[in-house]
């Protein structure tokens, strides 16, 4: 008898509402078969089974709540028992009559081998470069321990293990590519020795070599060697939470044909994305591409580079994935968004006094306030006041998507290039919490430890180059957002006030915006609102 429990659903998710139980007692269940349709506060998902067999009991009902780790159902492993017996019997044929008895009784000698596969890394990410292996065969690893350092086109990430045990096989090498779902390593998690037959020949459990690049295994594998049985358990349910409601099979189709599932309009019940929707969307993209004569979707043709070596020595180096993705992303944003940049200056003389005045409090809170800290807070208030700046343009549906949450990205300069971590729910946090979180994210980005979750879900971006220098610049809108605030270096300037020039600390601001949604007048109002908030920090802090 085997139990299926509700697997981990994501950080801080402990329960889910069961929308539908998709199986019943008596059903034959396969690995990967959908068992439940559940709803968390993030998404609606189908939960696939990790066990197979005949369902004996189902312990949950439609409409109930289920806890992570709760037993959902129990199956009788009919097939597996048969296979196991058969395999042992086959092996037994090759041994002498005396050993025959031993082979049969030794079925209870079981060692457990678990596999760790490269988990889902995000929509449309199918593979990653293996930068560094952090473990070796023979190491004993624990859950959550870093296994690999990988680079996707979005970020460099340390992949933590979801299993514990002693590594017996490792299937990836540094400098190679690894596919999502590929077996990365196998660990021995326990060895049970229950047989106690006199004259028994002990045979160490040994696992057959599998192909390094392995597609999804359908079932746990049982391999019989001598008198020992090794069970490979696939205890890594490939569940990820996605914003777009779609079944795993629909997501798989989208991934296989290169369609971004988040862009597909769902026409099923409650906006659910069906197979047909993915196919229709793919067809539409194909037709649109054909309209511009096969050129790229933004109609930009790559220019052939001249042969520079005619003019002197050159060296060619491969772009890092982050650089190449940044180039694609910014090129796309620049070519598709009609940009306008509005400049202004804010007098931060008083803000600077407040910043210094709060420095001891900030120190007690374990942080240090900068102008970026104040801007995070001020912009979240500005986004509330001007919702069109917290929006995205859906040209396909001719709709504007207004976001009710406030996540602000902060551009961070790292050795590996520009990374924009996102500080979430800014409006709910105080200035010290925001600063701490921003600095932690910036540090993670610099140490190449940033997770994909930290890079997603932004509504607006701040790019503060003032710590480095410069006057004004024209930042590029971080598509699909619609505006970005560029901050340059604050400096003392003579300001004409009450009939005389007085020295004031002035901060140059550059607001770039998407003119498809935002008009110039709105942009000035928005930027002026920010400037006034910055110039009246006491009033702002009281609010």
Residue from 464, 478, 510, 512 touching ligand CAO (CB under 6 A): that is 464
Name residues contacting ligand CAO, limited to 437-456 (CB under 6 A): 442
CB 242 within 8 A of CB 261: yes
Q: Output the smallest distance, CB 534 to ligand CAO, in A.
A: 11
**Residues in the chain, total:** 543
Q: Could you tell me how far CA 50 lies from the centroid of its own chain?
A: 23
**Pairing relationship of beta strands 483-487 and 460-464 according to DSSP bridges:** parallel
**How many CB atoms are located within 10 Å of the residue 297 CB?**
12
Residue from 121, 362, 487, 533 touching ligand CAO (CB under 6 A): that is 487
Residue from 150, 232, 465, 531 touching ligand CAO (CB under 6 A): that is 465
CB 113 within 8 A of CB 223: no
Residue from 390, 463, 478, 512 touching ligand CAO (CB under 6 A): that is 463
- Nearer residue to ligand CAO within complex by CB, 132 or 323: 323
Cis peptide upstream of residue 52 (ω within 30 degrees of 0): no
* Stretch of residues binding ligand CAO (CB under 6 A), selected from 161-169, 187-195, 367-375, 515-523: 367-375
**Pairing relationship of beta strands 221-225 and 228-233 according to DSSP bridges:** antiparallel
The two structure tokens encoding residue 331? 């090129």
Q: Output the smallest distance, CB 367 to ligand CAO, in A.
A: 10
Residue from 60, 155, 261, 410 touching ligand CAO (CB under 6 A): that is 410
Q: Output the smallest distance, CB 482 to ligand CAO, in A.
A: 17
Task: Say whether residue 413 binds ligand CAO (CB under 6 A).
Answer: yes
Q: Output the smallest distance, CB 465 to ligand CAO, in A.
A: 5
Ramachandran class of 3: left when φ > 0, alpha when ψ lies in -120 to 50, beta otherwise = beta
Q: Output the smallest distance, CB 370 to ligand CAO, in A.
A: 3
CB 259 within 8 A of CB 285: yes
Residue from 299, 366, 467, 470 touching ligand CAO (CB under 6 A): that is 467
CA-to-CA separations, 469 to 12, 219, 531, in angstroms, rounded: 40, 58, 20
* Stretch of residues binding ligand CAO (CB under 6 A), selected from 58-66, 173-181, 368-376, 531-539: 368-376
CB 87 within 8 A of CB 231: no
Pairwise CA distance, residues 192 & 108, whole Å: 8
Catalytic residue among 242, 286, 339, 515: 515
The two structure tokens encoding residue 36? 């439940």
Q: Could you tell me how far CA 444 lies from the centroid of its own chain?
A: 15
* Stretch of residues binding ligand CAO (CB under 6 A), selected from 158-166, 247-255, 283-291, 464-472: 464-472
Pairwise CA distance, residues 250 & 44, whole Å: 13
CA-to-CA separations, 376 to 252, 383, 419, 496, 531, in angstroms, rounded: 38, 11, 17, 29, 13
The two structure tokens encoding residue 74? 């129990």
Q: Output the smallest distance, CB 464 to ligand CAO, in A.
A: 5
* Stretch of residues binding ligand CAO (CB under 6 A), selected from 119-127, 150-158, 214-222, 364-372: 364-372
Pairwise CA distance, residues 232 & 112, whole Å: 6
Q: Output the smallest distance, CB 162 to ligand CAO, in A.
A: 31
Report how many residues bind ligand CAO under the rule CB under 6 A.
18
* Stretch of residues binding ligand CAO (CB under 6 A), selected from 78-86, 229-237, 384-392, 405-413: 405-413
- Nearer residue to ligand CAO within complex by CB, 32 or 437: 437
* Stretch of residues binding ligand CAO (CB under 6 A), selected from 64-72, 96-104, 387-395, 463-471: 463-471
Give catalytic status of residue 286 as yes or no: no
Q: Output the smallest distance, CB 461 to ligand CAO, in A.
A: 9
Binding track, positions 504-533, relative to ligand CAO; x by CB under 6 A: ---x--------------------------
Residue from 147, 371, 531, 533 touching ligand CAO (CB under 6 A): that is 371
Pairwise CA distance, residues 354 & 431, whole Å: 12
Residue from 48, 122, 245, 490 touching ligand CAO (CB under 6 A): that is 490
Q: Output the smallest distance, CB 489 to ligand CAO, in A.
A: 4
Place of tokens 């079981």: 110
Query: Which residue has the CB atom at the shortest distance from ligand CAO?
Result: 466
Burial class of 134 by CB neighbour count within 10 A (0 to 12, 13 to 18, 19+): middle
Residues 6+ apart with CB under 8 A from 493: 503, 504, 506
- Nearer residue to ligand CAO within complex by CB, 49 or 407: 407
Contact residues for ligand CAO, defined by CB under 6 A: 370-372, 410-413, 418, 442, 463-467, 487, 489-490, 507
Q: Catalytic residues, which ones?
A: 515
């Amino acid at each position: 008898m085997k139990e299926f429990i509700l697997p981990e659903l994501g950080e801080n998710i402990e329960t889910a509402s069961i929308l539908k139980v998709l199986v019943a007692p008596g059903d034959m269940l396969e690995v990967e078969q959908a068992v439940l349709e559940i709803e968390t506060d993030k998404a609606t998902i189908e939960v696939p089974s990790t066990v197979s067999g005949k369902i004996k009991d189902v312990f949950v009902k439609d409409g109930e709540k289920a806890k992570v780790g709760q037993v959902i159902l129990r199956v009788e492993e009919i097939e597996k028992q048969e296979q196991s017996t058969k395999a042992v019997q086959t092996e037994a044929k090759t041994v002498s009559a005396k050993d025959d008895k031993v082979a049969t009784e030794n079925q209870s000698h079981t060692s457990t081998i678990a596999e760790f596969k490269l988990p889902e890394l995000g929509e449309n990410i199918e593979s990653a470069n293996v930068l560094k292996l952090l473990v070796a065969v023979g190491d004993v690893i624990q859950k959550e321990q870093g296994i690999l350092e990988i680079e996707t086109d979005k970020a460099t990430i340390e992949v933590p293990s979801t299993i514990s045990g002693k590594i017996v096989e490792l299937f990836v090498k540094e400098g190679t590519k690894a596919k999502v779902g590929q077996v990365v390593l196998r660990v021995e998690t326990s060895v049970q020795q229950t047989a106690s037959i006199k004259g028994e020949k002990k045979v160490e459990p040994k696992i057959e070599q599998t192909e390094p690049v392995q597609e999804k295994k359908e079932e746990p594998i049982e391999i019989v060697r001598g008198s020992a049985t090794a069970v490979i358990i696939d205890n890594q349910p490939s569940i990820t939470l996605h914003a777009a409601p779609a079944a795993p099979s629909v997501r798989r189709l989208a991934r296989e044909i290169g369609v971004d599932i988040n862009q597909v309009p769902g026409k099923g019940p409650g906006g659910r994305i069906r197979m047909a929707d993915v196919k229709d969307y793919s067809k539409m993209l194909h037709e649109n591409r054909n309209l511009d004569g096969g050129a790229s979707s933004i109609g930009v043709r790559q220019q052939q580079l001249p042969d520079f070596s005619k003019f002197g020595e050159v060296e060619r180096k491969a772009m890092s994935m982050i650089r190449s993705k940044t180039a694609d992303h910014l090129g796309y944003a620049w070519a598709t968004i009609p940009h306008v940049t509005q400049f202004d200056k804010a007098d931060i003389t008083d803000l600077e006094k407040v910043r210094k005045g709060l420095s001891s409090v900030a120190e007690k809170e374990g942080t240090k306030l900068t102008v970026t800290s104040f801007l995070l807070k001020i912009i979240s208030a500005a986004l509330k006041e001007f919702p069109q700046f917290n929006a995205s343009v859906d040209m396909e549906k001719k709709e504007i998507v207004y976001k009710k949450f406030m996540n602000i990205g902060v551009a961070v300069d790292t050795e590996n290039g520009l990374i924009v971590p996102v500080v979430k729910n800014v409006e709910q946090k105080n200035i010290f919490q925001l600063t701490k979180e921003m600095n932690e994210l910036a540090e993670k980005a610099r140490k190449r430890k940033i997770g994909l979750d930290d890079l997603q879900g932004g509504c607006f971006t701040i790019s503060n180059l003032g710590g480095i220098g410069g006057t004004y610049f024209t930042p590029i809108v971080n598509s699909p957002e619609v505006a970005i605030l560029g901050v340059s270096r604050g400096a003392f300037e003579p300001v004409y006030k009450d009939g005389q020039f007085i020295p004031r600390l002035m901060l140059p601001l550059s607001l770039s915006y998407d003119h498809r949604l935002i008009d110039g007048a709105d942009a000035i109002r928005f930027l002026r609102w920010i400037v006034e908030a910055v110039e009246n920090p006491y009033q702002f802090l009281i609010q």
